[in-house]
Chains A and B, each alone.
Chain A
Amino acid sequence: MTLQHVNVKLLAKNPEQVDLEPLIPIFHEWIQGQLFEELLLDVADYRHVPAGSGVMVIGHQADYSVDNTDDRLGVRYNRKNALDGNNQERLQQAARAALIAFQRLETDPRLGGKLRFNGQDLEIFINDRILAPNRETTREAADPDLRAFAKKLFGGSDHSLDYYSLRNDSDPRRLFGASLKSTKSFSVSDLLKNLS
């Protein structure tokens, strides 16, 4: 199967301590400096929506956000344009983009060091229901790619891969996804190194 429109979300540590308001000027600066590979266009503020999209920077090829869907706060990368290459390359591209964004946010003084990667948890979604319907056949087809990706990301150390069992895993209406959890704690830069 072809995995396109990959979303990667890296979960935050102590999410209750994170104030999303400083993200707005930060994201405007990202647009001002065009700091990422994608063409960044606008900031969308959904802080008023509970368990929602958080604060987003909207791009042409992809969106970045500090997303609170399902009350799980994390830095999310949503690839909107299709990408060439194979599944491994597309998974790694999305993960790398999310990690770079997180790295930048972790070191931004306006967030006061409170937005940190929790070191272990990452979620992957395929944001396209016809390419990847949320059902068993998709899981079977995607499994080898996702396992190979997880192995590389975590440098071969112990980890688990669950098919979106965090919540409503059996709900076929939700996006197909998987959660990866490492037993060892990694920094963002460690994970970036593993992907390089």
Chain B
Amino acid sequence: MKASNALWKQQLTGKLPESLAREVDIYESEIALRKQGKIDERVFAETRLRRGTYGQRYDNGQRHDGTKVQQIPYPSGDLTKGPMTMWDAPGMQRIKIPGGGLNAEQLETMAELAEEYSDGIAHVTTRQDFQLHYIHIEDTPTLMRRLAAVQITTREACGNSVRNVTACPYAGVCSDEVFDVTPYSHVLSKFLLGHPDCQNFGRKFKPAFSGCAQHACGLTNMHDLGFIATTRTENGKERRGFAMYVGGGLGAVAYQAKLFDSFVPVEEMLPLSQAIARIYAKYGEKKNRNKARIKFLVQDFGIAKFKELVLEERKILPPDPRWTEFVEEAEKFEEKPLAAPGDWPKSTTESFQRWVKTNTRVQKQKGYAVVTIALPLGDITANQLRSLADIARRFTKETVRLTVEQNFVIRWVSQSDLPEIYKALDAAKLADPGAGTIVDIVTCPGTDTCKLGISSSRGLAAELRKELTETGVKFDGSVENLHIKISGCYNSCGQHHVADLGFYGVSRKVGNYAVPHFQVVLGGEWEHNAGAYGLPVAAVPSKNIPKVVTRLTERYLANRTSGETFQNFVKRTGKVEMKSMLEDLTKATATDRSFFSDWGDPREYSLSDHGVGECAGEVVSPVDFELTAAEREVFEAQVAFDGGQVKKARDTAYHAMLHAAKALVKLADPGISDDADKIVSEFRTLYFDTQKFWDPFAGGKFASYLFDAHQKANAAYNEDATRYLIDEAQLFIDAAYSCNTKLSTPVSV
């Protein structure tokens, strides 16, 4: 903990916006009360999360060191900051940046905080936030005060609240947009922050804005609440509004948002959002957090009934002047350039040309360009942040934004300044080419710092980035522009569902060892605001993933038809062929030790922090065979689904779950019959009630997929529900593998 916390409080008194100052003071008091044991740890956990202060890996006080689980003797002993979360354990601070917009002073503050409280690195997330890691809880009020001094709040950056409101980073400068969504995203962000109608959600709620329907930048289809700019002519006058979407979300099972209304006038943006918040708070699941996102509510009600309820709620809302007072100002909103428009520079050096090709784009305003800074794994140093602040001041009116691809963009750069800004960025080591290409890999923190991580997404991303940069020269444009996105687990923070090549972390057993794997997810679409979600094709050992990328890209190059996108190539080739293409890479041999540790982490891989025993041989048990068969069935369900055989897909996916459940039940009851009721009943008794099947963080979520599917076995299934069921079946089988690994490996504490 810093010696200077009291000094900062003294220095910043009277200099912060009153509401933010009060907010931090309250939080600081809560910290003191928790230390005295006067606030329950669960209550404190939620209050801390609502200020963006998360836990990190190993905060339960133990860590697998490669041979055994070690207890971590934190100085504060048993004091906790939440259930199973030790007080002194380093944590992560998430910092919301609405719409990703930052000025130079804010960049400088981020630099200071990264240096003084973290590890010198600020990490940009896939939702236009910053994250600082390894922060001590008792430094967080000072950190928040210093942020508040530059008009940044961490309030509601985590917890069951309205998260950062994201927006297309090209809003206002993109030639394809309908209008600039920037002011509307800011208004919504401000309106919903701390709003009384948003304080009783069962889960988080993520809004997003896009200026157009065709590009990816806003990703509105995968958000709880999405707005796409549109206009309508009424009485000869153009009127601004939004196509409003609701109920999208990634997570373990990805849902596409449903169109709520094709035209919501801007005057209705706030009241309708408020009405949606009320309906979500009123009817949304509260007890089972695994079913608590609004996407489940929309799915259960159906969009027509959901809309009806919202419109009824809208009618009884007490009027609020804020609903419309922004409208006039928002229409006038316009960022201004610092320099006069310029001409596109003539060819200079080869490196400049390479950078220009991938890292710049022309603005709709003649003579200006947007420059993208591609950050490796979303990381930037304190010195680079200060350099970026200098560059923003020198070339623009500090018009910098974060992107959902974990990069920065600098807007309003005069085109004639491009050679100079390139030089300045290069001096700061911020001029890596390849923004938005296959080397610009998106990844969540994974096992590096996240306690939900199963495999090392950052380790894999670093390795792929290195290899693809080295071999990149041989790619043509169609491969160069593919998107790779990696999540360390099924929770999709790396947005693997919407990548050309998506990966999410799972584990499998080889012999008696747990081996880090990634599910290969193909067929996702980044464009059209995350227009389609991919489905898993095969689980491949982590160390074989670079070979997967090479093989898939080579096959695409060799076999594509003229102008065929990768997504269409996957569709045309078919999942059966795609899977067989990777078949040999799915095997890890027990004799090759490299498979048993993850990228960038030489410790013997451990599924959780409960250790893995020494190898007792390479016996493949019957349950392993059965789980493999169940996984094959899920794949067959996917193939049937892709072929339009919805009923067959649904039946096969359900049977795959039953198959996996039966495999586990057989361990205790070898004579179990094929009767579905009996399998489910025994599975419940043996694995759910005993919590043996429970995921350390998702609890009984995956088991509930089986129970729901069994309960609805004879119910009618539509296409959406079948697609979700297939995803759920894959997750259930992943969890069955994990359960089997845990059951067959001794705990070494």
Which residues of A pack against B, CB within 8 Å?
Answer: 2, 4-5, 24-25, 28, 31-32, 39, 41-53, 56, 58, 60, 63, 67, 69-70, 80-82, 127-131, 171, 173-175
Contacts and interface: CB of A to CB of B under 8 A. Distances in A.
Interface in B38-93: 57-58, 63, 65-67, 70, 72-75, 88, 90
Contact of B381 (A4, A52, A127): A52
20 contacts: A4-B4, A28-B66, A31-B63, A39-B73, A44-B121, A44-B448, A45-B600, A48-B376, A48-B379, A49-B121, A49-B376, A51-B381, A53-B121, A58-B134, A69-B381, A128-B2, A131-B3, A173-B108, A173-B386, A175-B115
B65 A60 contact: no
Contact of A174 (B70, B133, B386): B386
B443 to A, nearest CB: 11
Contact of A51 (B8, B112, B429): B429
Interface of A: prevailing SS: loop
Contacts of B4: 4, 128, 130-131
Contacts of A175: 115
Interface in B92-149: 108, 111-112, 115-116, 119-121, 133-134, 136
A133 B581 CA distance: 60
A171 B108 CA distance: 12
B119 A53 contact: yes
Given A48-B465, A128-B2, 20 more contacts: A4-B4, A24-B600, A25-B602, A28-B601, A32-B66, A41-B63, A42-B63, A44-B119, A45-B600, A46-B120, A48-B379, A49-B121, A52-B379, A53-B119, A60-B75, A128-B3, A130-B4, A131-B7, A174-B386, A175-B115
Given A48-B462, A51-B429, A82 B121 contact: no
Given A24-B602, A39-B74, A58-B90, A81 B119 contact: no
Contacts of A129: 112, 116
Contacts of A4: 3-4
A70 B74 CA distance: 33
- Most chain B CB neighbours (cut-off 10 Å) among A2, A25, A44, A47: A44
A31 B11 CA distance: 38
B215 to A, nearest CB: 28
B145 to A, nearest CB: 11
B603 interface: yes
Contact of B119 (A2, A48, A56, A173): A56
B512 to A, nearest CB: 22
B90 A130 contact: no
Contacts of B540: none
A53 B381 contact: yes
Contact of A46 (B121, B136, B386, B603): B121
A82 B383 CA distance: 24
Given A44-B448, A45-B600, A69-B383, A58 B119 contact: yes
Nearest to A55: B600
B120 A52 contact: yes
Contacts of A63: 119, 134
B1 interface: yes
A27 B67 CA distance: 15
B377 interface: yes
Interface string B1-43: 1111001100100000000000000000000000000000000
Nearest to B111: A173
Given A50-B429, A51-B429, A127-B116, A39 B75 contact: yes
A173 B377 CA distance: 26
Which of A50, A67, A70 is packed against the most chain B CB atoms within 10 Å? A50
Given A46-B121, A49-B376, A81 B1 contact: yes
A177 B494 CA distance: 38
B119 A82 contact: no
A192 B214 CA distance: 64
Given A5-B3, A60-B75, A69-B120, A42 B462 contact: no
B8 A130 contact: yes
Interface of B: 1-4, 7-8, 11, 57-58, 63, 65-67, 70, 72-75, 88, 90, 108, 111-112, 115-116, 119-121, 133-134, 136, 376-377, 379-381, 383-384, 386, 429, 448-449, 458-459, 462, 465-466, 600-603
Contact of B90 (A5, A41, A81, A127): A41
Nearest to A129: B112
B119 A41 contact: no
A175 to B, nearest CB: 7
Question: Which 3 A-B residue pairs are closest in the complex by CB-CB distance?
Answer: A82-B3, A50-B429, A32-B65
B67 A32 contact: yes
Contact of A24 (B2, B429, B601): B601
Interface centre among B90, B136, B380, B383 (most CB of A within 10 A): B383
Contacts of A67: 120
Nearest to B89: A41
B65 A31 contact: yes
Contact of B115 (A25, A56, A82, A127): A127
A29 to B, nearest CB: 9
A5 B2 contact: yes
Contacts of B121: 44, 46, 49, 52-53
Contacts of A44: 119, 121, 133-134, 448
Nearest to B11: A130
Contacts of A171: 386
Contact of A60 (B3, B7, B66, B88): B88
Most buried by A among B90, B120, B136, B381: B120
A176 to B, nearest CB: 12
A2 B6 CA distance: 15
A8 B1 CA distance: 18
Contacts of B115: 127, 175
Nearest to B67: A32
Contacts of A31: 63, 65
A88 to B, nearest CB: 17
Contact of B58 (A2, A42, A82, A127): A42
B376 A28 contact: no
Contact of B57 (A32, A42, A51, A70): A42
A138 to B, nearest CB: 13
A170 B158 CA distance: 39
A140 B465 CA distance: 47
A41 B91 CA distance: 12
Contacts of A50: 429
A28 B462 CA distance: 19
A186 B78 CA distance: 45
Nearest to A63: B119
B244 to A, nearest CB: 39
Contact of A82 (B1, B66, B120, B600): B1
B116 A49 contact: no
B526 to A, nearest CB: 23
A45 B461 CA distance: 12
Nearest to A46: B121
A39 B72 contact: yes
A98 B683 CA distance: 55
